[in-house]
């Protein structure tokens, strides 16, 4: 994701002055491709740029890059961080507070899009944080997105993103049940899919994942592991808020079952492996 955002920025002529990855070889090859430099410590990233994009995988990584002397915070005064990871609202808030304590600014930019959109600069971006900082960075953010929304305080971007993925994952796991049961009853699945599309059963995931579930085409766009993580974030939020979320809990359980079966790297459509007859069936 981060690499494709960097490619897009480079395409538009932005100076990509440094790239960093936990796996140094990934950073090296991207640096060669973009005529950038691969750095091996986080403070070098901060030193090399005015605006620093971050995309990490989980709360622990987010906490790691924003704490201590060996982190992005070193020498951060006057810099702006744009944190794009899908992590918990609290992790975004903590990162922003730590940055601000060092005299830096931080925005949370949640992406409801995938790798292709990052490469093409057509991300769906929801940005939380100080509104004046958002307005200052708006031209840059517009260059990587086709839809850009300011959503309020820094944690809101992650909250909305978590809710998007929560509902998307529920719809996906639910669709897998409908199509799987249709398959078990010997129905014509193309007819069933068409009827779904024309009735109250229609959904975006029917369009994106319906055929993949039927044909077992689970190449990864958004992995089952990510789905489990994101539904998990939403479920923790529901716990904190005292909100009932039995479907979201059932959805997280399905995706965790896929992980337990060693299938966490399948696309989220892989949840159909649990519901179609004669497949894995947990």
Which residues form the interface with a copy of itself (CB under 8 A)? 112, 124, 126, 147, 149, 151-152, 156, 159-160, 163-168, 170-171, 173-175, 177-178, 180-182, 184-185, 187-188, 191-192, 195-196, 198-205, 208, 234, 237-238, 241-251, 253-254, 274-275, 277, 281-282
Min dist. Cβ of residue 162 to a copy of itself (A): 9
The DSSP bridge partners found for residue 38 are: 19
Min dist. Cβ of residue 190 to a copy of itself (A): 12
7/121 Cα distance (integer angstroms): 9
Min dist. Cβ of residue 34 to a copy of itself (A): 29
Q: Distance of alpha carbon 191 from its chain centroid, rounded?
A: 33
Min dist. Cβ of residue 54 to a copy of itself (A): 22
Residue with tokens 């529920």: 170
Q: Residue 20 or 276: which CB sits closer to a copy of itself?
A: 276
Using alpha carbons only, give the angle 112, 113, 117 rounded to the nearest 5 degrees.
Answer: 145
Q: Residue 31 or 173: which CB sits closer to a copy of itself?
A: 173
Q: Residue 132 or 185: which CB sits closer to a copy of itself?
A: 185
217/220 Cα distance (integer angstroms): 9
Min dist. Cβ of residue 136 to a copy of itself (A): 22
Which residues contact residue 158 at a Cβ distance below 8 angstroms, ignoring those fewer than 6 apart?
86, 87, 88, 89, 91, 92, 108, 110, 128, 233
224/213 Cα distance (integer angstroms): 13
Q: Residue 36 or 165: which CB sits closer to a copy of itself?
A: 165
């Amino acid at each position: 994701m981060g690499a494709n955002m960097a490619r897009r920025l480079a395409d538009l002529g932005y100076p990509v002055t440094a790239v960093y990855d936990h796996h140094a070889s990934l950073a090296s090859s991207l640096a060669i491709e973009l005529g950038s430099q691969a750095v091996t410590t986080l403070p070098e990233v901060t030193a090399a740029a005015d605006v620093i994009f971050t995309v990490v995988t989980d709360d622990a990584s987010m906490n790691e890059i924003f704490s201590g002397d060996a982190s992005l915070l070193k020498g951060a005064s006057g810099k702006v961080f744009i944190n794009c990871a899908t992590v918990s609202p609290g992790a975004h808030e903590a990162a922003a507070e730590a940055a601000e304590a060092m005299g830096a600014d931080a925005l949370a930019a949640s992406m409801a899009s995938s790798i292709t959109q990052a490469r093409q600069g057509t991300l769906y971006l929801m940005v939380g944080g100080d509104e004046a900082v958002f307005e200052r960075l708006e031209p840059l953010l517009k260059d990587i997105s086709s839809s850009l929304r300011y959503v309020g305080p820094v944690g809101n971007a992650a909250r909305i993103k978590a809710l998007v993925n929560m509902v998307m994952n529920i719809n996906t796991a639910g669709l897998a049940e409908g199509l799987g049961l249709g398959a078990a009853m010997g129905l014509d699945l193309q007819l069933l899919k068409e009827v779904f599309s024309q009735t109250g059963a229609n959904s975006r995931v029917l369009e994106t994942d319906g055929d993949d579930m039927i044909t077992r085409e689970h190449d990864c766009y958004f992995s089952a592991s990510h789905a489990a993580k994101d539904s998990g974030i939403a479920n923790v939020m529901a716990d904190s808020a005292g909100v009932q979320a039995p479907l979201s809990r059932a959805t997280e359980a399905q995706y965790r079952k896929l992980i337990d079966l060693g299938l966490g790297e399948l696309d989220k459509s892989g949840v159909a492996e649990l519901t179609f007859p004669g497949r894995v069936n947990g």
